[in-house]
Structure 1
Amino acid sequence: MDTTVNHIPRSSNDSHMIHVKLARRMQYVNNYMSGNVRPKLLYDAAKKFVLKPLAIEEAIELSTNWCFNNNVENDQYEFNNDTEFYTHNAIYETLLTSDDINFMGSSENGIRFAPAENYTPTSILFDNNCEFLAFPKVFGGYKLNPEYNNTKISYSDFTKSMILRFDRRVAERGDLLLFMAKKLELFKAIQRTWKSPEGPFLDYKISHHYHRIEFQQRGSPHVHILLWLEGAPIFDINNLNTHDEVCQFIDKIISCSSENISDDFVKLQTHKHSHTCQKRIGNTDECRFNIQYFPIRQTLILTPLPNDIEDDIAKKYK
């Protein structure tokens, strides 16, 4: 009884609860996640987090305006007795159900915002502290630098060590385990693809890129990529010397050799005429893709034909 008397009544700031909805973008109808939070507890946790080494390294600061704008407690409270937004009023007709909790639990109320909108996301390849920042409850604002015999261990060994530890905070978080597994798969894929120290484009470094992923009608994804390479020759349609330079550049980084290609891959890339590609022209069936394509012995840059060329000669070129 003494404990109850010493703790009641509680401060309204300590017990205040609001419904928060997070969205990827404000124009989206559905929320990414939602739930009830206690602002006082979040603020107290944030005050401790900004003092941790990782928060100091990332220059994370805590705004003090919230404290001054929300530390006044009013003696009089206004209660909303309007129940028109309730679909079934019978479930609320009990003294055990708080009006404030029901009001905040409604999907039409609460605070909704998109914290990452209008920001450019940082690639996981350049964010060394992504998992330590994304899971503060597990790592507590500290950055781990795992080493063994003064040698930094790989991310694969780090993942195994975290799972097998006596402290089960990591093993009990399915979202963190999935994040680490996907990150490990990404690193392995990059290591296989970009194994050469020069990269896939030899001495030409990528200075800028743009890509767009599109989906066909049957759902097959494909990507369109534009790459800007440092030191690459510049093509000038009026300068024939640049034609040869660009062709030599293309031959350096692109190959059509099929010496190391398996037979199964060749079969998948071989076109077979069927009713979907053939169309009847007179008494013959012709492929609407104009297959077969005859190979060219060397790399060529095809320029537009002159406007004054005769039609018969233009057809021969085509």
Structure 2
Amino acid sequence: MHKVLSALRKLKEIHSEYKDIFINAELSEEEMFSDTISAPEEMDIESSSQNENTEEHSNVNEHNDSSDDPEKTAEEQSRGLALDTCLQPPDLGQQLLSYDDGIFCIAPAAKNSPVSIFKVSNLESLAFPVQFPDGKNTFDEPNRAKHVSPSRYFNTRLFSIDNRCARDTSYIFFAQFVTEMHMATSSMSIQLRKAKPMTRDGRRINCSLLQDKQELEKLVNNKEATRFMQPLRGTPAYWEKTLRDLFAMLRQLGTPTFFCTFSAAEMRWPEVINAIKAQQGESVNFSELDWSQKCEILRSNPVTAMRMFEKRVEALMRDLIMSPARPIGEVIDFFYRVEFQLRGSPHIHCLFWVKDAPEFEKDKDQDVCDFIDKYISCKLPDPNKDPELHRIVSEVQMHSRNHSKSCRKNKKHCRFGFPKPPINRTTITRPRPPPVDQPDEENRTEERDYANVAKEQLQKVWDLLNDSNHNFETITQLLNQVNITYEEYEKHIEALSTSSLIVMERRPQDCWVNGYNPMLLRAWNANMDIQFILNPYSCIMYMLSYISKAEHEMSDYLKRVIKDSSHDNLSDRECMKQVMNAYSKNREVSAQEAVARTCSLKLKSSSRSVIFIPTDDNAVKMSLPIKYLQTMDDDVENVWMTGLPDKYKARPNRPEFENMCMAEFASEYRIVYGKQKKGKHVLPLQQNMGHIQKRTRGKPAVIRFARFSQQKNPEKFYGTLLKLYLPYRRDEQLKSTRFPTYESFYAFASVKLPGTDVLQRVFNIVN
């Protein structure tokens, strides 16, 4: 108590906001803490959580503890990681966005005006006197010589060699909210400037309409109210856009080869623990630390822990996967997303496109299986030949025989299929095709009966594999125990297949080993998973389930908020406020995720940029800033900023651009601004539309565009094809008097491309 009062007296001395604080020296310690709310002795976090965002391989052992009491070890691990995540205060979103809504005046301050928490001057220094004992140099410093955005300010604070801010998780969450609410406010203003050139009743929008607040509110479609959250990394809108980008990659690049998961295991990585302690001026012997000590060190600086995870991922991609070593083949494209588990620890889910990889149903099954065996192993290594790999596989790749709650979630058996069936060679199983000359009902009955027999026979095998008292060296020994031939065993496995499935080569002792790549596992030194993708549909659904599983329920909730606001006839600005408020009230964020979002660390990465090309005749555009509109005549209709189609039509008058379609233009060139205009190979566009530069780093961008049904909306369908793949400089070149529609122009028209005297069918050019 003496130290607290001494600190308060020092703050009165040096902190401008504490000078008027009155300290009652006669107040006893018991009186000061008599109103303290005692926390409940126990809190069942698991039962109160509605979102069990548990990683698929969470039941895989991530460390080798020497404790003889597994229950004590599990309890210790849970306690050590419990503080890695937190629920943000439920009312903070309202305080941030609804500055003047729903304010109540409460005595004794009835004559004063309550203000938003973010309108409080010197908020940062008031909330964090330990970090700012003199109350100076905060993000809202009034007399700062050069303006600094909250994002840049907090990035500097958290990355500073003075780690007093990085050590405080409360400060990290504060920084995240300030940064994101600043971005949300800016994004709201931008969203309200977006509209279509034509109103629903057919009027062309002019300057006077955009300056009329009531008319402007009508122009914005509130079904798009969540789009203002797209720049906010980690929000549902952000991940929905990511999904659309991923779909575009799948359509343009084809089926990816491998799906991989790499989990974090900071408890196994000495460099993380040593780096944090080195920042604190200490050194430790990693091998002598127990689980709880490692957890305490990691919680002491989540900023360094998250930054080192990002660097580890970058090194894995750059120095191994994409290197000449080619541990999974020559990877030509990739995509990965960072996800945070319920315990707050990050892991990544990846898609890899491998050059010359065989494709399922296009190449022979044996070629596919040989390729899989070359890069994926499910074997427990020989401890004598490779003790290091044997140790890693035993510690991080072995599925627990006791399983976990997530394993048997709503199921009697392990939903991940462990123990896996041992088999002599890697095989692709398919559902049995129905007999051609057999009635459907009779066929279904026969299939059910055979499947029941197969399930009954295989259950005997699973029981033996689950029994730790039985050990079998070969599959023959295992099958002899249950009186099944190997041929019958294979048929039984295929009979239970409801879709095409890869059954990896395994010995009986390997049935608990999850698939891995030896080179990647040795380097990563933590749990991983690698799977060959059989078809694009399963790939999309598989990736979709991971990308959206944490945000799916939240996205549905936000849609309900939008629907309710439309019934209440709220303006679009108020609708967006409700969306952001709802999001901030229902989002659980870990300290490491807050670091990643505040400091702009990667939440996703790809070998390709994805560019959206608007092709609708009445596509959404952004209006000029209000300060420009106020200087224009009311009937002026040229009130829009230029977009990609405008810049394409104003492309340089050079030979290489004449026969270039918009899809190629967007894929090969990028728009540059500011200082970038002084870079190499920058070309000016015509009509002062800006500047472009050829993409020299990386590969051409993937294009994304609105997809219309050829049957339901043929005009927009063919209009999209023409605008993307037919070179043009004016919209009038996409139709003619003879062929007044996009569909007829596409099907029957012929044109002369610049530099040629030969008529070519539009159909052939586009295709």
TM range, smaller chain:
0.3 to 0.5
The structure whose RCO (Cα within 8 Å, separation 6+) is larger is 2
Could you state the TM-score of these two structures normalised by the residue count of structure 2? 0.16
Flag the structure with higher strand content. Answer: 1
Flag the structure with higher helix content. Answer: 2
Could you state the TM-score of these two structures normalised by the residue count of structure 1? 0.35
